[in-house]
């Protein structure tokens, strides 16, 4: 009886490992870096956005990602997972986003790490979250509205029109 149980466990383990390659084949292969130079290969890949570098240790999660593209706009969310330390991922994205022209705006740290960046008429939000066996990275890229883009470039009007701002308290005062 014990022998049959051990054989059944070995068979299940073997079958599970054989199916693992099928899951890995769902990953989209990384696109080569535009204008790549000869020499040592950098440990990064570029997917839908040529100015957002992704560490090669992360696997692209196609079923949790989408990209919306028109002739004048490209936006979307990309999801990745991998066994990389959260601190290393934070340092990687802060460094490489700056190298690719993104301006660091702010970050939030709880159990997750959220990094916010601006570039031209776009914003990018990167969320790094812990997992049981691997960490996940969620990258959102979208357009800025005209007023926010002007603030980023330093060309926003000096005064804000407060004509439409409600000055009354939302809740009635306590008695």
Question: Which DSSP string corresponds to 80-132?
Answer: EEES--HHHHHHHHHHHHHHTTPEEEEEEESSSEEEEEEETTEEEEEEEE--S
Q: Is the dihedral of CA 82, 83, 86, 92 positive or negative?
A: negative
**Does residue 158 form part of some domain?**
no
**Does residue 22 form part of some domain?**
no
- Angle (CA) 131-20-53 rounded to 5° is 55
Q: How far apart are CA 90 and CA 114, in angstroms?
A: 9
Number of independent structural domains in the chain: 1
Phi, psi of 34 (to 5 degrees): -65, 135
**Percent of the chain whose pLDDT exceeds 90:** 55
Residue 8: its pLDDT value, please? 47
Q: Which residue would you say has higher pLDDT here, 146 or 116?
A: 116
CATH code, domain carrying 143: 3.30.310
Range of the domain at 73: 43-153
**Does residue 125 form part of some domain?**
yes
> Is residue 75's pLDDT more than 50?
yes
**Does residue 11 form part of some domain?**
no
Q: What is the DSSP letter of 152?
A: H
> Is residue 72's pLDDT more than 70?
yes
Q: How far apart are CA 109 and CA 116, in angstroms?
A: 12
Residue 19: its pLDDT value, please? 39
Q: What is the mean pLDDT of residues 101-120?
A: 96
Residue-level length of the chain: 175
> Is residue 113's pLDDT more than 60?
yes
Within 8 A by CB and 6+ apart from 102, the residues are 51, 52, 117, 118, 119, 124
**Does residue 144 form part of some domain?**
yes
Q: How far apart are CA 133 and CA 76, in angstroms?
A: 26
**Does residue 82 form part of some domain?**
yes
**Does residue 12 form part of some domain?**
no
**Does residue 61 form part of some domain?**
yes
Query: Model-level pTM?
Result: 0.64
User: Strands 103-109, 66-69: parallel, antiparallel or unpaired by DSSP?
Assistant: unpaired
Q: What is the mean pLDDT of residues 108-137?
A: 96
pLDDT tier, 167 (very low <50, low <70, confident <90, very high otherwise): low
């Amino acid at each position: 009886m014990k022998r049959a149980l051990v054989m059944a466990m070995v068979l299940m383990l073997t079958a599970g490992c054989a199916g693992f390659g099928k899951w890995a084949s769902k990953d989209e292969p990384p696109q080569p870096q535009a204008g790549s130079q000869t020499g040592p290969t950098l440990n990064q890949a570029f997917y839908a956005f040529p100015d957002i570098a992704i560490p090669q240790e992360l696997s692209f999660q196609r079923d949790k990602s989408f990209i919306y593209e028109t002739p004048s706009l490209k936006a979307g969310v990309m999801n990745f997972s991998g066994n990389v330390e959260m601190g290393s991922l934070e340092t990687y994205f802060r460094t490489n986003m700056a190298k690719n022209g993104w301006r660091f705006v702010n970050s939030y740290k709880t159990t997750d790490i959220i990094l916010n960046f601006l570039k031209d008429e776009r914003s990018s939000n990167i969320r790094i979250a812990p997992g049981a066996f691997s960490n996940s990275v969620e990258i959102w890229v979208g357009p800025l509205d005209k007023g926010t883009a002007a603030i980023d470039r330093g060309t926003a009007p000096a005064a804000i029109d407060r004509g439409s701002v409600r000055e009354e308290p939302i809740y009635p005062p306590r008695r």
